[in-house]
């Protein structure tokens, strides 16, 4: 069994001074145990990423080096949001690490999940998704909306692991592949499945936030949800196109039918011809918009310059 690879635990932190004392104690302690047991290398780190916090988060992180040799810190110049902070940490980690695990600063993701991740990693999986088995700590509203949202996303053709947020392990080559995705509108949950490679899931219970408040305001949550649709899928444009074509065809059919009825001795039907004409004109308009949208969608995907494929193996 392989062992002793270098692990980086990446922790995005935004105004987390209340949660960090406990979080850093637990995570640094866990990495120390794993390193001493030879499960991960002594070069392993817990990398705290300060996402432009306005409180004492960075001072706390900077002070950790004196506490533990396993502490590392990365400070962003300003608040760029959870997804960007996480990516910054993962891309920094890929330089020195063989694998990186991302967890939130509030320890809602149970740390026991780390052992499950490592087992799967050493079995040869490149991506291990943490799946929340018990979401009872989230409100019923949050659970209900999340479920409906992910169902909609999948209908839009976005491949998503159910009940998985951003708690996962990625191997070095998966991180290197992720770095090939140059897009700035980030939705990591949708991108990581596109990276491919052998993947597995590990279940864990989702806990209450240890300290401090949720840093995901309703506004940030809605922004992330919208990002998920608009950065991963051009299907909304297709919806407009199919709506337009349907309306156009129905309008034309009604126009013909009503004209025949009116011409066959029912002049009182004449006004319905106008309705049909309006529907057909609207349909034509939407169809035209949808076709233009189709090209805009193509331009959008081209500007993302995503890798067309990622090679897993090659020999000659
Ligand atoms: N976070 C961040 N930048 C932000 C907002 C949040 O780095 O702009 C971090 C936050 O510190 C935490 C993680 O993202 O480590 C998840 O946030 P939170 O726990 O508040 O979200 P919730 O679990 O309530 O959805
Ligand atoms: Mg949280």
Q: Please report the pLDDT score of residue 2 as a whole number.
A: 65
With CA atoms as reference, report the closest residue to 225 among 149, 113, 139, 126.
Answer: 149
Q: pLDDT-derived band of residue 259, with 50, 70 and 90 as boundaries?
A: very high
HEC assignment per residue over 72-84: EEEECCCCCCHHH
Using alpha carbons only, how large is the chain's radius of gyration in Å? Answer: 26
With CA atoms as reference, report the closest residue to 190 among 178, 175, 198.
Answer: 178
Q: Please report the pLDDT score of residue 134 as a whole number.
A: 76
- Rounded Cα gap, residues 71 and 45, in angstroms: 6
- Rounded Cα gap, residues 107 and 91, in angstroms: 22
Q: Please report the pLDDT score of residue 218 as a whole number.
A: 85
Q: Is 106 in the pocket of ligand 1 (CB under 6 A)?
A: yes
Structure tokens at 31: 């990495």
Q: Please report the pLDDT score of residue 178 as a whole number.
A: 96
Mean pLDDT along residues 161-168: 90
- Rounded Cα gap, residues 26 and 114, in angstroms: 12
CATH 3.90.550.10 assigned to domain 7-217+308-315? The reply is yes
Task: State the pTM of this model.
Answer: 0.84
Q: Is 72 in the pocket of ligand 1 (CB under 6 A)?
A: no
Residue to mutate (ligand 1; options 104, 143, 204, 228; most atoms within 8 A of CB): 104
Q: What is the C-alpha end-to-end distance of the chain, expressed in Å?
A: 28
Cα of 108 from ligand 2 centre, angstroms: 6
Q: What is the pLDDT of residues 271-307, one digit of tens each?
A: 899 999 999 999 999 999 999 999 999 999 889 989 9
Mean pLDDT along residues 72-90: 95
> Average pLDDT, whole number, for the chain?
92
Q: pLDDT-derived band of residue 86, with 50, 70 and 90 as boundaries?
A: very high
Query: Atom 25 of ligand 1 has which residue's CA nearest to it?
Result: 216
Ligand 1 atom, smallest distance to 85 CA? 7
- Other C-beta atoms closer than 10 Å to the C-beta of 102 total 25
275: Cβ contacts below 8 Å, ≥ 6 apart = 254, 258
- Rounded Cα gap, residues 126 and 122, in angstroms: 9
Distances (CA, A) of 177 to 167, 194, 278, 307: 18, 10, 51, 9
Q: Is 82 in the pocket of ligand 1 (CB under 6 A)?
A: yes
pLDDT at residue 151 tops 70? yes
Question: pLDDT > 90: what percent of the chain?
Answer: 67
With CA atoms as reference, report the closest residue to 55 among 223, 222, 206, 211.
Answer: 211
- Other C-beta atoms closer than 10 Å to the C-beta of 281 total 13
Cα of 104 from ligand 1 centre, angstroms: 7
Q: What is the pLDDT of residues 227-253, one digit of tens each?
A: 888 888 888 999 999 999 999 999 999
With CA atoms as reference, report the closest residue to 104 among 232, 14, 35, 183.
Answer: 14
With CA atoms as reference, report the closest residue to 45 among 84, 5, 87.
Answer: 5
Q: Please report the pLDDT score of residue 146 as a whole number.
A: 84
Structure tokens at 245: 């074509």
Cα of 250 from ligand 1 centre, angstroms: 48
Query: Atom 17 of ligand 1 has which residue's CA nearest to it?
Result: 215
Q: What is the pLDDT of residues 182-225, one digit of tens each?
A: 998 899 999 999 999 999 999 988 888 878 888 888 888 899 88
Ligand 1 atom, smallest distance to 221 CA? 25
Ligand 1 atom, smallest distance to 212 CA? 20
pLDDT at residue 132 tops 90? no
- Other C-beta atoms closer than 10 Å to the C-beta of 76 total 19
Cα of 126 from ligand 2 centre, angstroms: 25
**Quick one: CA torsion of 85, 90, 96, 100, rounded to 10 degrees?**
130
With CA atoms as reference, report the closest residue to 235 among 143, 158, 131.
Answer: 158
**Ligand with an atom nearest the CA of residue 209:** 2
Q: Please report the pLDDT score of residue 76 as a whole number.
A: 96
- Other C-beta atoms closer than 10 Å to the C-beta of 7 total 28
């Amino acid at each position: 069994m392989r062992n002793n690879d270098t692990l980086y635990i990446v922790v995005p932190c935004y105004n987390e001074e209340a949660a960090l004392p406990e979080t850093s104690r637990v995570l640094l302690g866990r990495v120390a145990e794993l390193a001493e047991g030879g499960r991960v290398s002594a070069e392993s780190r817990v990398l705290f990423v300060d996402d432009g916090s306005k409180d004492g988060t960075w001072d706390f992180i900077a002070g950790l080096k004196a506490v533990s040799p396993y502490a590392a810190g990365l400070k962003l110049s300003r608040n760029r949001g959870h997804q960007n902070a996480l990516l910054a940490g993962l891309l920094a980690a890929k330089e020195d690490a063989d694998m990186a695990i991302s967890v939130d600063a509030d320890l809602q993701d149970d740390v026991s999940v780390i052992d499950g991740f490592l087992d799967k990693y050493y079995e040869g999986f490149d991506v291990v998704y943490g799946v929340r088995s018990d979401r009872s700590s989230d409100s019923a509203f949050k659970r209900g909306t999340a479920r409906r949202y992910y169902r909609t996303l999948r209908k839009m053709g976005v491949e998503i692991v159910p009940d998985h947020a951003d708690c996962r392990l990625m191997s070095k080559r998966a991180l290197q592949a992720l770095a090939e995705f140059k897009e700035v509108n980030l939705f990591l949950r949708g991108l990581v499945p596109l990276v491919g490679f052998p993947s597995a899931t590990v279940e864990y219970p989702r806990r209450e936030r240890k300290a401090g408040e949720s840093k995901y305001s309703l506004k940030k949550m809605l922004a992330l949800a919208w990002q998920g649709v608009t950065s991963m899928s051009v299907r909304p444009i297709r919806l407009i196109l199919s709506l337009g074509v349907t309306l156009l065809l129905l309008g034309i059919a009604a126009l013909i039918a009503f004209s025949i009825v009116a011409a066959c001795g029912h002049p009182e039907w004449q006004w319905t011809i106008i309705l049909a004409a309006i529907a057909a004109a609207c349909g034509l308009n939407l169809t035209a918009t949808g076709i233009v949208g189709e090209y805009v969608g193509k331009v959008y995907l081209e500007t993302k310059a995503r890798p067309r494929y990622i090679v897993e193996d090659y020999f000659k």
